[in-house]
Structure 1
């Protein structure tokens, strides 16, 4: 876009025009496989509540990062006009996840690699106020627009009444249309030079790309985990709080990290278990396969016992 064109177009319109193609192709799994993606399945009623829950859990990490940046920048002159208490989503997501996964939900929620990359980018970009604005705009205005259709579909498909889809309820905003208009007017008045505005637009596009990568990773695993998220959360919590020493033995032995000094179980599916081992100053993800595919909760404990026993023997204990 030329400087003359940029000057003649409102900044909010420039962002919308630049990001329109990203917005249209936001569910990349549908395009890549020519099969229905996560959004399609939500709307046609074929997305399981378990996969909906896994998607919801990934969003927690994204909003945790955005809202931490918003808290930090609440008094910054550039960011302050875009920090709205009524937009905050983290507490709603937490309430939804407690409802969907039980009180131990946090033990069963772990960012996917794509989500971790997204969160890292938010944290890096939000070192500058314009970076925060780019990510906040992309998520929150999306929630007030297409996100409302997601909420309606979730309530229709799963029978939610409040919790489960409270993430999509903006009770502090009387008119989403009027609120979005005010938000865009603030974008148009943002105190940034043209170079900084161009970087903000680029960051919006990057936010779309990261969101698409998360959806793609989720879409590639739809229907593959036979265990309900609440079961995963309960067993991970039990291992991490009641059998932390055993978890460390498994990571040192079967996980191949004898130098680990701490460990936690982060999830599992029918093929194996996931762990995070503390090695030096970093946490390393580990995957340990089951001896055979599992489909029932009662099968998990014997496999964990086997892994612990074999790991203990391997370590000479």
Structure 2
């Protein structure tokens, strides 16, 4: 009897496949735009605020998508974690620049496009949402913790302005990262085409890089205008 092999078998670990497929983009993301400035201590407070404001719709789209699929046997395992970064961004922006931040800080076209792409990924069975959860949440649990320490020094931000990097429901962030990585693989393994999830990861990183560059350019224009 001849075994039937799927045209697009899911990788043994989609998270591992995402890592290798997006590794070069990850490096590029750290070396360009506002992220480069933040990691080198060159960013302004206004630049960081602009970045947070433009990440807010992306996190809203991820978290609304996961909530929509919380009853799914496929994505329910991810929705269960309720990492909820959007409320933390709201809190930080209110602490950084007041309650009117959503009116006072501009949403850039790159921020709109990023959030729109995530909303599209959440349609249907929501499989491609896995790539965006991987890109954002695992990043927050890894490099985000380093960035938190850098921001507290370079921009002298207070704890109340850095809650985006806090996960108070999870006392052990290393365990959370390992468990969430396993949950991403568990969810992805149930979809027939792991390659599509991996390629969505490429799009996710591309949007992040475009947003980072757009924020850097906008912050530079604002700085020049106020001199």
Q: Flag whether TM exceeds 0.5 (same fold).
A: yes
The alpha-carbon deviation at position 105 of structure 1 amounts to 1.2
State the SS of the aligned residue for 1:134.
helix
How far apart in 2 are the matches of 1:39 and 1:45?
10
The alpha-carbon deviation at position 86 of structure 1 amounts to 4.6
| Stretches of structure 1 lacking an aligned partner (at least 5 in a row) | 31-36, 227-268, 271-294, 297-317
* CA displacement 1:22-72 (0-9 Å, x = unmatched): 1111146x3xxxxxx422322332211111111111111111111111221
Which residue number in structure 2 is paired with residue 140 of structure 1?
Answer: 137
State the SS of the aligned residue for 1:179.
helix
Check whether the contact 1:48–1:223 (CA below 8 A) recurs between aligned residues: no
| Stretches of structure 2 lacking an aligned partner (at least 5 in a row) | 1-5
Q: Does 1:160 align with 2:157?
A: yes
1:150-299 aligned within 5 A: 150-190=147-187, 191-195=189-193, 197-226=194-223, 270=225, 295=226
Check whether the contact 2:46–2:219 (CA below 8 A) recurs between aligned residues: no
State the SS of the aligned residue for 2:72.
coil
In the alignment of these two chains, the number of paired residues is 221
How far apart in 1 are the matches of 2:71 and 2:205?
27
Which residue number in structure 1 is paired with residue 104 of structure 2?
Answer: 108
Larger strand percent: 1
Report which structure shows greater RCO (CA 8 Å, sep ≥6). Answer: 2
From 61, 66, 73, the equivalent of 1:65 is: 61
The alpha-carbon deviation at position 221 of structure 1 amounts to 2.8
Check whether the contact 2:11–2:17 (CA below 8 A) recurs between aligned residues: no
The alpha-carbon deviation at position 201 of structure 1 amounts to 0.9
What TM-score do the two structures reach when normalised by structure 2?
Answer: 0.87
Tell me whether 168-177 or 198-207 shows the greater mean CA deviation.
168-177
Which residue number in structure 2 is paired with residue 10 of structure 1?
Answer: 13
Alpha carbon RMSD of aligned pairs, Å? 2.5
Which residue number in structure 2 is paired with residue 24 of structure 1?
Answer: 27
What TM-score do the two structures reach when normalised by structure 1?
Answer: 0.64
State the SS of the aligned residue for 1:174.
coil
Tell me whether 48-57 or 176-185 shows the greater mean CA deviation.
176-185
